[in-house]
């Protein structure tokens, strides 16, 4: 789905939520990977190849009318496909070789994961990425 289509989908979801109770779930995943960040001074430590033990959090939301028969936004077990994809695609990889067209910062990684998974997880509203326990980046499409 293109970025314009993602924006319209997010807008439609956001408008549907106005004034309605919303349920949110989050699930955390981890992987280890290396990367090199471009456009930094040569003496910046992130300009050299280095690695992180990443944490990714998916946030999914639904109105009460959007809950499934069990009363879930989505069964956490359904997110096993995301875990398998993370293990196959990102774990112990060099992110510059995986995310070809982007500088693989935490911000860009969060957006890339969101756009890759939004169609499969229509309840997905945000992706957060942590490179260290004290640093987080989040991608959440703008919804006015």
3-state secondary structure of 102: coil
pLDDT one digit per residue (tens) for the chain, 144 residues: 444 444 445 545 554 556 778 999 999 999 999 999 999 999 999 899 999 999 999 999 999 999 999 999 999 999 999 999 999 999 999 999 999 899 999 999 999 999 999 999 999 999 999 999 999 999 999 765
Domain of 68 in residue numbering reads as: 3-139
* Residue 119, in any domain of the structure: yes
The catalytic position among 28, 44, 81, 92 is 92
3-state secondary structure of 131: strand
Q: Which of 35, 86, 34 is closest to 57 using CA atoms? A: 86
* Residue 82, in any domain of the structure: yes
DSSP code of 78? G
How many structural domains compose the chain?
Answer: 1
Contacts of 100 (CB under 8 A, 6+ apart): none
**CATH code of residue 89:** 3.30.479.10
Which pTM value belongs to this model?
A: 0.84
Q: Binding site membership: which residues?
A: 35, 50, 52
Per the CB < 8 A criterion, the answer to whether 81 and 69 are in contact is: no
* Residue 144, in any domain of the structure: no
Active site residue 44: no
Q: Binding site membership for Zn(2+): which residues?
A: 35, 50, 52
Write down the pLDDT at residue 21. 81
């Amino acid at each position: 789905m293109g970025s314009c289509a993602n924006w319209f989908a997010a807008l439609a979801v956001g408008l549907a939520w106005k004034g309605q109770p919303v349920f949110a779930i989050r699930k955390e995943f981890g992987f280890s990977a290396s990367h090199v960040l471009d456009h930094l001074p040569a003496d910046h430590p992130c300009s050299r190849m280095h690695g992180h033990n990443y944490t990714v959090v998916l946030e999914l939301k639904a109105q009460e009318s959007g809950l499934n028969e069990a009363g879930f936004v989505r069964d956490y077990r359904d997110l096993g496909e995301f875990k398998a994809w993370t293990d196959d695609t990102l774990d112990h990889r060099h992110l510059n070789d995986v995310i070809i067209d982007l500088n693989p910062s935490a911000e860009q990684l969060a957006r890339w994961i969101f756009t890759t998974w939004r169609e499969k997880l229509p309840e997905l509203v945000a992706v957060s990425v942590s490179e260290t326990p004290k640093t987080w980046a989040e991608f959440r499409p703008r919804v006015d």
